Amino acid sequence: MLSMENGLSDSSEEANAEPRRFITLARAVPFLGGAVVVGFVLALAKLGSHSGATRSSMSGLMQKSDWQTSGVFNPETIDASLRASQASIPTENLQDGNSCQDDEEEFMNLCYKKCSILTQGTHRYRTSAFTCCQADSKSQCSLTNQQVNTKICGGFDVSGNINGQESACPHKFGTCYENEELYLGVCYKKCSILTNSEYSNRISPLSCCSETGFSCNPLGFGENVKSSTSFNVGGKDTASSNVAPHYPDQSITEASSAASASV
């Protein structure tokens, strides 16, 4: 009798426990559902905060109009070591109709230093590579009102001040990048940069000299001259040592030239 009662008791407890399990599960479902909803809401909030941060970081980027104008895309927040390696461009008036530097004038398809600068304003009009005229207009220039200096690549036969370099020969329209110098009408990377300022005077495409004048042997001989094929480079791409020397770039001095070059 006892065993039957125990058996009945056990079976009745199991029977009672089964509904309790369903009741507990039924009570847990709303709780679990609420937790899922809360988790989903928190995830959306976190995503929104990341989106805001992304928009905030995007505000620090260079605008499209800027890199379309410059031709170089450089996010302002990017590390300097990762920025594009194009050399700096000298500041020039790009809307003055002058394809030469601001301190130069066009004459016979070459760029010369302005006569007005060379003569301190007394002879403003250039009439040849070696002469400047004193008159109210160029039509009044004659043999009697000319100032003459016949020094080749000197005197009046010079280019403007190209990145600190004076008395270079006249050159084609345009100019060099700021880390370049002009030699025989061609832009090369500065000897001062290539030799850590030890041999700053370029005397040939392959040679740099620590002095000036006749003490520098153009054939590359002497203790004051250093020669290397690595000196025969341009400076437009500062990250490369294999950029070819080039003629002056006209897009640096006049906007219309830059526009035509991009077409």
DSSP-based helix, strand, coil % in the chain, nearest 5: 35, 15, 50
Nearest to 157 by CA among 126, 181, 186: 126
Which residue has tokens 């004051």?
A: 224
Distance in angstroms (rounded) separating the CA atoms of residues 126 and 115 = 6
Beta strands in 14-145 (DSSP E): 104-107, 110-113, 125-126, 131-133
pLDDT at 42 over 80: no
Q: What percent of the chain has pLDDT over 70?
A: 62
pLDDT per residue as tens digits for the range 199-232 = 999 999 999 999 988 889 877 778 899 999 999 9
Residue 225, helix vs strand vs coil: strand
pLDDT per residue as tens digits for the range 234-247 = 988 877 777 899 99
Phi and psi at 151, nearest 5°, equal -70, 125
Give pTM, 2 decimals.
Answer: 0.61
Phi and psi at 189, nearest 5°, equal -65, 140
